Amino acid sequence: MGFLSSIASGVGKLRTDYKLASSKRPQISITCSDTTRAKLIENRSLELTTLALASSLEVLAADAAPSAGCPVSLIDETTSVYMQLGEGDVDHSKELEKHLKEQEKQEERMQAVEKAGYVSQTS
């Protein structure tokens, strides 16, 4: 059950990252290149749907592309989970603000590293 729990945890992380209310039940798509694990996911899709607080769960072919704009959680080297977000699920202005703040912090860190002389200049 560890593998299935890691999938549910991956969905939970996506839900947290996007501050999705527990009342929201997104559609989940999973790609898995390991056929044995893909069959396990299909066989346990009802349990996974419940654990992930999802409206539905679809196992896609390993080379299939999920819907555009879906956030992804990489479970392991063979498995990826995609969460379909609906209209109004994400406040885009808040997401943009969050990413701009993170970018600003990264730039400040780079300046501190450069100031300390850790980055060598190349000509």
Report the alpha-carbon distance of residue 112 to residue 23 in Å, rounded. 43
- Across the range 111-115, mean pLDDT stands at 85
Give Cα 37 to chain centroid, integer Å: 19
If one compares 89 and 26, the residue with the highest pLDDT of the two is 26
User: Is residue 89 over pLDDT 50?
Assistant: yes
Question: Is the pTM for the entire model greater than 0.85?
Answer: no
User: Is residue 95 over pLDDT 80?
Assistant: no
User: Is residue 68 over pLDDT 90?
Assistant: no
Report the alpha-carbon distance of residue 81 to residue 71 in Å, rounded. 8
pLDDT value for 97: 80
pLDDT value for 90: 62
Burial pattern 43-80, b for ≥16 Cβ within 10 A else e, equals: ebbeebbebbbbeebbbeeeeeebeeebbebebeebbb
Are residues 83 and 11 in contact, defined by beta-carbon separation less than 8 angstroms?
Answer: yes
pLDDT value for 121: 55
pLDDT value for 123: 43
Joined tokens for residue 107: 């730039």
Report the alpha-carbon distance of residue 70 to residue 54 in Å, rounded. 14
The residue behind tokens 């992804």 is 72
If one compares 66 and 46, the residue with the highest pLDDT of the two is 46
Mean per-residue pLDDT of the chain: 85
